């Protein structure tokens, strides 16, 4: 699928002061090489305050940096979603595994946001799921609903339960993981979420549902919603999601990893979401059928 390209815009902060355009872009956006950025600057696709620049141009805080990304062919990915819940305030949809939630990286049009907004122009995402995670994503349909649900989310009144397939057979039935999660260096992205003593607090409650030959089915309830929290906490506990390409035992990617957070291989599913309805205050509940691999084999 060939999209229409995209224009990225950024208002520069203090970290850009004195940097050249080439150095700033190469350091901040490590998914592309310095040669790639040199070619984009030479082609006039990088602008500062609306004008093309030389790669040695020095930057200052407050300037507007623009990158005009030309059209590209997006990789194959799911392009449909299912509506699970809809009223005047809230829209709940099922995101398929393999679909990016938001535009970015390789995906622009084949994203959940683009598809949902085409269906309901008023929809605004309340949260997001990783590309490899399937299940419930909640959207609000007007400003008041968004404000009310955001407040409920921040007060810890939204209950989220996930299902995951982990590697191994834990000796315990239930476990709470509360290690902090922060940003650590990543060779391709600059930084990535991982276990970090100086990071933000995070709490996950894990319960074993079924032990299989080499894997186990678990339910995970999260009190916080840090980036990749479930993947990281399960790995820290010694039982990473089976097939996770980024997070090994310990919850910290290796220093030499080339894997990215959006790569597939693992199974994680947002199964249940309960929240105070923004109009009535009554508890609303949305559930989503998991893929076959995340269903109990023995009932």
With contact defined as beta carbons under 8 Å apart, do 41 and 20 qualify?
no
d(Cα 55, Cα 77) in Å, to the nearest integer? 35
Does 255 have pLDDT greater than 70? yes
Does 249 have pLDDT greater than 60? yes
Q: What residues does each domain of the chain span?
A: 6-69, 74-155+273-299, 159-266
Tokens of 17: 């002061």
The class that CATH gives domain 6-69 is: alpha beta
Average pLDDT of the chain? 95
What DSSP element (H or E) covers 87?
A: none
Q: What is the pLDDT of residue 30?
A: 77
**104 contacts: CB under 8 Å, gap ≥ 6:** none
The SS3 call for residue 80 is: coil
Check if 74-155+273-299 and 159-266 are the same fold: yes
- For 74-155+273-299, CATH gives 3.30.2350.10
Q: What is the pLDDT of residue 29?
A: 84
d(Cα 6, Cα 271) in Å, to the nearest integer? 33
**For 123-135, what is each residue's pLDDT tens digit?**
999 999 999 999 9
Burial of residue 280 (number of CB atoms within 10 Å: 0-12, 13-18, 19+): exposed
Pick the closest to residue 238 from 222, 251, 219, 253 (CA basis).
251
* pTM (two decimals): 0.86
Share of the chain above pLDDT 90, in %: 89
* Beta-carbon count within 10 A of 172 CB: 10
Query: For tokens 């840090």, what's the residue?
Result: 226
Does 111 have pLDDT greater than 70? yes
Give the C-alpha distances (Å, rounded to integers) separating 38 from 23, 90, 188: 10, 45, 18
Q: What is the mean pLDDT of residues 89-112?
A: 94
**For 190-202, what is each residue's pLDDT tens digit?**
899 999 999 999 9
Tokens of 33: 């090489």
Does 40 have pLDDT greater than 90? yes
Q: What is the pLDDT of residue 188?
A: 87
Question: What region does 227 belong to: left with phi over 0, alpha with psi -120 to 50, or beta?
Answer: beta
pLDDT band at 236; cut points 50, 70, 90: very high
Does 28 have pLDDT greater than 90? no
Does 299 have pLDDT greater than 60? no
**For 133-192, what is each residue's pLDDT tens digit?**
999 999 999 999 999 999 999 999 999 999 999 999 999 999 999 999 999 999 888 899
CATH of 159-266, picked from 3.40.50.720, 3.50.30.40, 3.40.50.11400, 3.30.2350.10, is 3.30.2350.10
Half-sphere exposure of 52 (CA within 13 A, CB side): 9
CA 8, 10, 16: angle at the middle one, nearest 5? 130
Least confident span in 41-50, 104-113, 239-248:
104-113
Q: What is the pLDDT of residue 64?
A: 96
């Amino acid at each position: 699928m060939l999209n229409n390209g995209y224009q990225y815009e950024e208002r520069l902060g203090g970290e850009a002061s004195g940097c050249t355009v080439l150095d700033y872009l190469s350091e901040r956006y490590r998914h592309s090489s310095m040669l790639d950025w040199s070619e984009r600057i030479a082609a006039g696709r990088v602008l500062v305050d609306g004008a093309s620049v030389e790669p040695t141009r020095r930057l200052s805080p407050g300037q507007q940096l623009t990158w005009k990304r030309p059209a590209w062919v997006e990789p194959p990915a799911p392009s449909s979603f299912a509506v699970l819940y809809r009223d005047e305030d809230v829209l709940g949809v099922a995101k398929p595994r393999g679909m990016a939630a938001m535009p970015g990286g390789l995906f622009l049009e084949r994203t959940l946001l683009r598809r949902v907004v085409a269906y309901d122009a008023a929809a605004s995402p309340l949260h997001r799921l990783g590309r490899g995670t399937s299940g419930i994503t909640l959207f609000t349909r007007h400003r008041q609903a968004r404000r009310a649900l955001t407040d409920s989310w921040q007060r810890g009144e939204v209950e989220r339960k996930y299902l995951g397939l982990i590697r191994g057979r834990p000796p315990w039935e239930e476990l709470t993981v509360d290690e902090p999660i922060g940003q650590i260096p990543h060779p391709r992205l600059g930084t990535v979420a991982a276990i970090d003593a100086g990071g933000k607090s995070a709490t996950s409650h894990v319960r074993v549902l079924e032990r299989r030959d080499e894997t186990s089915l678990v339910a995970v309830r999260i009190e916080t919603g840090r980036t990749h929290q479930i993947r990281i906490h399960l790995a820290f506990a010694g039982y990473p999601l089976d097939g996770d390409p980024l997070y090994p035992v310990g919850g910290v990617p290796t220093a030499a990893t080339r894997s990215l957070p959006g790569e597939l291989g693992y199974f994680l599913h947002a199964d249940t979401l309960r929240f105070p309805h923004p109009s009535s205050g009554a508890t609303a509940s949305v559930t989503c059928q998991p893929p076959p691999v995340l269903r109990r084999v023995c009932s």
